[in-house]
Amino acid sequence: MNEGWPVELRGVTESIVATLGPNGQWNLAALGLFAGEPVTSRTWGNTRTRRNFHREGEGYVQFTRDPVDFVEAALDIYERDEPVLPSADARVRVGVERVDAGEDGDTRWEEWAHTPVESAIERRVVPTTNRGYNAVIEATVAASRLGVEVYDDAVLEERLAHLEGVAERCGGEREREAMARLRGLSAWDGRNERNESF
């Protein structure tokens, strides 16, 4: 185990965070990390992640290339017995401290500073750029904003349709599976309400 971040962060880096819930299960959720000193993130609304950060003061941030795991974490209630996903290439246990809070429209947000406690690299990989994978990540962000007052659903749905086409053309089997899960878990096709799991 090492101290510090196991990967270089720049801009906003998408990750999955596991936080321990009161039921003894680890809740996994998407978490955008803002590079800086310290690294920060924001939770929006009364989510499980926000409540668990307040209660436990820590979590496991992990970096995965699996688009299905990312969609599940972002749009579903995704709980496990263990905090670290088998698909995680690297992970870091962080202490969290609330450093700011506010409101955007009717939604309350809280900003958290992350202090690395211990980290590990599970797999070293050669970076590649796959437009299908990137489309899934962008589609997940768009789908998570459907039904939120400050965003235009028509614009988001147009973006989702475009990104679905990119994932279909440029992605592989996991990207296509991730987009199918996204349709089933989001309000995009009207079958499900937006889930406040992250």
For 90-124, the pLDDT digits (tens) are 999 999 999 999 998 888 999 999 999 999 999 99
Chain centroid to Cα 31, Å, comes to 4
- Which domains can be identified in the chain, with CATH numbers? 12-121 (2.30.110.10), 131-185 (1.20.58)
- Which SS3 state, helix, strand or coil, does residue 105 take? coil
* DSSP letters spanning 127-190: ----HHHHHHHHHHHHHHTTT-TTS-HHHHHHHHHHHHHHHHHH--HHHHHHHHHHHHHSSTTS
Helix (H) or strand (E) holding 55: helix 48-56
**Whole-number pLDDT of residue 189:** 65
For 66-90, the pLDDT digits (tens) are 999 999 999 999 999 999 999 999 9
d(CA 130, CA 35): 23
For 152-181, the pLDDT digits (tens) are 999 999 999 999 999 999 999 999 999 999
Q: Judge contact between 104 and 150, C-beta under 8 A.
A: yes
What is the bridge-based pairing of β-strands 26-34 and 12-20?
antiparallel
CA distances (Å), 120 to each of 18, 82, 87, 166, in order?
A: 15, 16, 13, 33
